[in-house]
Chains A and B, each alone.
Chain A
C-alpha cells in the first residue's frame, strides 16, 4: 500500500505512476550508486539515503540540500575533479565521480 519504493515516490495520485528512466551509475566517494537519467546529483544521493552532502571546513558541521535551486551552495561537492559544483541542479551522467569535499581536504585545511 505504500506509495514509496525505497526513497522514490512511485505511486502518485496526480503525477501518476513513476516511469523509471535509463539507469546510470555514479560513484559517491568511490561507492557505486544507481541513479536514473534526469536525476540531479543531490536527488540521486538522497534517493540512495545520503542526506549529508558535505561537512563545513572549520566547524565540521553537516550540510544537505537546502534550496534545491542552485542558490544557497549548501550542496556543493567535487564532481569529476571539479570543486564547488552545485549538485542540486547538476544532472547525473553515467560514470560520474562525486566526492564530498572533506574527502579532498589536505592536512591543515581547516586552519585558516
Chain B
C-alpha cells in the first residue's frame, strides 16, 4: 500500500446527528461514503445527552441522546458507511476531487472524495469576566463530558450562566447526577430555552435569575464564589458560594474548513455567527455541502433533516439520483424543516390548576405545555387517541378527557416532563396525582415523600401510592401520590433526596 490515499464518493466530516444522517442518506443512494470524526466514538454531542429529546418519532423523540447516537451509528454502518474515527481533518486540498488531510496517531492520512459534506458542528462560546480562567469555570460541554461520560463530579455546587436550552438541560443533568445548581443566570429578561426545561428546574427549586449577569468569580486556586448582579436593580451584586461556574452562552458554527476552501461566509446572528452562504449547498464550490450546526446552530432534529438533505444533494451532484428523485426526496424534508424552524416565542406562564379543573372532579390530564415546540410523543403514545396534536407538529396538545383511560403513558414519555394525571375517588373526596420522576434514590410504594409545586414550593408530605416503571419508559418512573383534593392539583413532583 504505497499510496495511502483512499478514494470515496462522499466524505463526511463530523459523525454527529447531521453527519450520520448524511451518511445514511448518501449510502442509501449507492454512494461510497466515509465518515470522519476526531473523537473515539461517533455520535457527536449526542453521546453526552442523557435527557429525552423533543420532536417526532422520526427524530427519535422521547429517546435519550446517547441512545439516538448508537442507533444512528448502527443504521449508518448497516447502510454501508465507513467510519474513520480519531482523525482530525486539518486541511483540504483541491476541489475536484477534494483531498482531505487527516492527522492520526500514526501520522497524516489522505482521502480523496468527489463530494464533501461538512457536518463539523459548532464550538462553544466563552464568556470573559474577572476570574474566568480559574479552575472551576468550564463550558457546558465540559460539564457534560465529565458528568455523563467520565462520571466524575466537576464540583458540588454549580452556577449556570445561560438560560438557553443548553444551560437548562445541563442544569437538569447536574441535578440527576446529585450535584446542586445554585441558580441559572441569564442577562435576558426571559428564559431563552424551552419553558418545559425551565419548569423541570423550577420544580427542583433552582432559582432562574433572568435579567441578571455574572460580574466575576472569586477564589485563589479554584472558584469559591461568584458575584451576580440584578440588571434591573440599583442594588449591590450578591455573592453566591459556588465551586463551579458553567458557561452555556451559545455556540458558534465551526466553519474553518469552508474558509480553507475559499467558500463564502455570511453572518447570521440567529444561527450563531458566520455560516456558509447558500445553505446546504455551499455556494460557489460545486460538490461541497454543509449540514447541522456547521450551517447554523439549531436543534438536533433540524441537524438530522439537514444531514438527510445534504446526502441527497451530494447524491444528485454525483449523478446517483435523477433530478426528479431529488425533488421527490427533498420535498418532505423541506416541509419538515419549515415546521421545525418555526421560532419558539418565550412565555411567562403560571403553572397552577385552572378554574375549570377545580369545578369538575373527573380524571384530568394536565398538560403544562405552553409553547409551540415541535414535539408529539404524547400524541403518539396515547393508546386511546385522547391527545391530538396533528400537523404542524408545533401545535399544542388538545386533550379529550373523556377518552382518557388513565394509563399514564403521556406522563412517562413527555420529554418535558410536563404531563400530569389528576384523578379523584369517591366524587372528589380523595385525589391522586401522577408525575414523571427521574431521580435517585428510587421511590417505592408506601414511601412518604415531600410533594412540591411547579415553582419548587414544598407542599407537604404525601404517600406514594404507585410507581410505574416500564422498560419503554426508559428510566423514567410514573409516580402516583395520594393527597387531599385541595392539594393534589398543585403537586408537580417531589423533592429530590427527601423521601423515606
A residues neighboring B (CB under 8 Å): 1-4, 7-15, 18, 39-40, 43, 46-47, 51-53, 61-71, 74, 88
Contacts and interface: CB of A to CB of B under 8 A. Distances in A.
Interface residues of B, number: 38
A11 B136 contact: no
B152 interface: yes
Contacts of A64: 134-136, 138, 222
Nearest to B143: A68
Contacts of A69: 141-142, 145
Chain A to chain B: the 4 pairs with minimum beta-carbon distance, closest first: A64-B135, A3-B178, A68-B142, A43-B150
27 contacts: A2-B178, A3-B177, A3-B178, A7-B153, A8-B151, A8-B152, A9-B152, A9-B177, A11-B178, A11-B440, A12-B177, A13-B176, A18-B151, A43-B150, A46-B154, A51-B136, A52-B135, A62-B134, A64-B134, A64-B138, A64-B222, A65-B146, A66-B126, A67-B124, A68-B139, A69-B141, A74-B133
Contacts, number: 107
Contacts of A1: 441, 497
B50 interface: yes
A14 B50 contact: yes
B141 A3 contact: no
Contacts of A18: 151
A12 B154 contact: no
B147 interface: yes
A5 B497 CA distance: 16
B151 A12 contact: yes
B123 A71 contact: yes
B439 interface: yes
A52 B221 contact: yes
Nearest to B438: A13
A52 B222 CA distance: 8
Contact of B139 (A9, A12, A66): A66
Nearest to B222: A51
Contacts of B123: 71
A32 to B, nearest CB: 18
Between A1, A39, A63, the greatest number of chain B beta carbons within 10 A of the residue's beta carbon is seen for A1
Given A8-B153, A12-B440, 9 more contacts: A13-B475, A47-B150, A53-B135, A61-B134, A64-B222, A65-B138, A65-B142, A66-B138, A70-B38
A46 B438 contact: no
B442 interface: yes
Contacts of B143: 68
Nearest to A40: B150
A19 B72 CA distance: 25
Interface string B96-138: 0000000000000000000000000001101000000111111
A61 B133 contact: yes
B64 interface: yes
B263 to A, nearest CB: 22
Interface in B444-500: 475, 497
Contacts of B142: 65-69, 88
B249 to A, nearest CB: 13
A70 B439 CA distance: 31
Contacts of A70: 38
A64 B133 CA distance: 8
Contact of A43 (B50, B138, B141, B152): B152
A65 B475 contact: no
B151 A9 contact: yes
B177 A7 contact: no
Nearest to A2: B178
A46 B244 CA distance: 13
B41 to A, nearest CB: 11
A105 B330 CA distance: 59
Contacts of B394: none
A66 B131 CA distance: 13
B141 A67 contact: yes
A11 B221 contact: no
**Which of A9, A40, A46, A88 has the most CB atoms of chain B within a 10 A radius of its CB?**
A9
Nearest to A55: B221
A69 B390 CA distance: 40
A46 B439 contact: no
Nearest to B142: A68
B148 interface: yes
Contact of B147 (A9, A39, A88): A9
A19 B142 CA distance: 22
